[in-house]
Structure 1
Amino acid sequence: MSRKTLSLLSAFPIIFFASATHAEYQLNLQTPATPIAHEIYQLHNLILLVCLFIFIVVFGVMFYALYKHRKAVGHQAVQFHENTRLEIIWTIIPFFILIGMAYPTTKTIFAMRNAGHPDISIKVTGHQWMWEYEYISEGVRYLSSSSTPRDQIDNKADKGEHYLLEVDHPMVVPTGKKVRVLLTSTDVIHSWWLPQFGVKQDAIPGFIHEAWFQVEKPGTYRGQCAELCGVGHGFMPIVVEAMAPEEYSAWLARQKASTAEQAAASSRTFTLDELKAQGEKAFMANCAVCHQATGQGTAGVFPPLIDGAPFSAGKNMTDPLTERGFWKADKIVLGPKNRHLDIVMHGIPGTPMPGFSGQLSDVDIAAVISYERNSWGNHTGDVIQPAEVSALRKPAG
Structure 2
Amino acid sequence: MIRQLISTIMVGFWALPAAAETESMRLNMTQGVTQVSQRVFDLHMTIFYICVVIGIVVFGVMFWAILHHRKSRGAVAASFHESTKVEIVWTIIPFVILIVMAVPATKTLLAMEDISQSDLTVQITGSQWKWHYRYFNEDIDFYSLLATSPAQIDNTREKRENYLLEVDRPLVLPVGQKVRFLITSQDVIHSWWVPDFAVKKDANPGFINEAWTRIDKPGIYRGQCAELCGKDHGFMPIVVIAKPLAEYQEWLQMTKVTQQQAREEEQRLLAMEMSMDELMGLGEKTYLARCAMCHQPNGQGIPGAFPALAGVGVASDTGRQLEHISVVVHGRAGTAMQAFGPQLGLKELAAVITYERNAWGNNTGDTVQAAEVQAVLNGEDL
Coarse TM-score class (shorter-chain normalised) = 0.7 to 0.9
Q: Which amino acid aligns with 2:309?
A: L
> What CA deviation, in whole Å up to 9, does each residue of 1:331-385 have, x standing for no partner?
3344421111111123233333233234334333223212322334443332323
Aligned 1:203-214 pairs, distance under 5 A: 203-214=203-214
Change (3 A) 1:242 1:49: same
Structure 1 residue 277: Cα displacement: 4.1
Choose from 333, 336, 340 the match for 1:352.
336
Structure 1 residue 126: Cα displacement: 0.5
Rounded to whole Å, the distance in 1 between the matches of 2:114 and 2:283 is 42
1:296 aligned residue: 300
1:116 aligned residue: 116
CA contact (8 A) 1:36 1:111 kept: yes
CA contact (8 A) 2:120 2:177 kept: yes
Rounded to whole Å, the distance in 1 between the matches of 2:24 and 2:317 is 50
Of 32-41 and 290-299, the range deviating more from structure 2: 290-299
Choose from 267, 284, 287 the match for 1:283.
287
2:315 aligned residue: 332
Q: Extract unaligned runs of 5+ from structure 1.
A: 1-22, 308-327
CA contact (8 A) 2:315 2:357 kept: no
Change (3 A) 1:211 1:295: same
Rounded to whole Å, the distance in 1 between the matches of 2:279 and 2:174 is 35
CA contact (8 A) 1:223 1:237 kept: yes
TM-score calculated relative to the size of structure 1: 0.84
1:391 aligned residue: 375
Structure 1 residue 24: Cα displacement: 4.6
Rounded to whole Å, the distance in 1 between the matches of 2:109 and 2:148 is 35
1:271 aligned residue: 274
Rounded to whole Å, the distance in 2 between the matches of 1:67 and 1:288 is 67
The CA RMSD measured in Å over matched residues stands at 2.0
Change (3 A) 1:55 1:259: same
Of 252-261 and 83-92, the range deviating more from structure 2: 252-261
Q: Extract unaligned runs of 5+ from structure 2.
A: 1-22
Q: Which amino acid aligns with 2:195?
A: P
Aligned 1:139-154 pairs, distance under 5 A: 139-154=139-154
Rounded to whole Å, the distance in 2 between the matches of 1:395 and 1:357 is 12
Of 29-38 and 56-65, the range deviating more from structure 2: 29-38
Residue 374 in 1 paired to residue 358 in 2?
A: yes
Q: Which amino acid aligns with 1:338?
A: L
Change (3 A) 1:257 1:225: same
Residue 238 in 1 paired to residue 238 in 2?
A: yes
1:47 aligned residue: 47
Q: Which amino acid aligns with 1:305?
A: L
Change (3 A) 1:251 1:375: farther
Structure 1 residue 205: Cα displacement: 0.8
1:363 aligned residue: 347
Q: Which amino acid aligns with 1:304?
A: A
1:37 aligned residue: 37
CA contact (8 A) 2:315 2:362 kept: no
Rounded to whole Å, the distance in 2 between the matches of 1:248 and 1:386 is 34
Q: Identity over the aligned pairs, expressed in percent? A: 49
Match of 2:358, SS state, is coil
Change (3 A) 1:333 1:33: farther
> What CA deviation, in whole Å up to 9, does each residue of 1:81-127 have, x standing for no partner?
32111011011111011011011111111111111111111100001
Structure 1 residue 79: Cα displacement: 2.2
CA contact (8 A) 1:173 1:242 kept: yes
> What CA deviation, in whole Å up to 9, does each residue of 1:217-258 have, x standing for no partner?
111111000001111111110000111212111111121112
Aligned 1:59-138 pairs, distance under 5 A: 59-138=59-138
Q: Which amino acid aligns with 2:366?
A: D
Rounded to whole Å, the distance in 1 between the matches of 2:128 and 2:279 is 24
Match of 1:290, SS state, is helix
Q: Which amino acid aligns with 2:323?
A: R
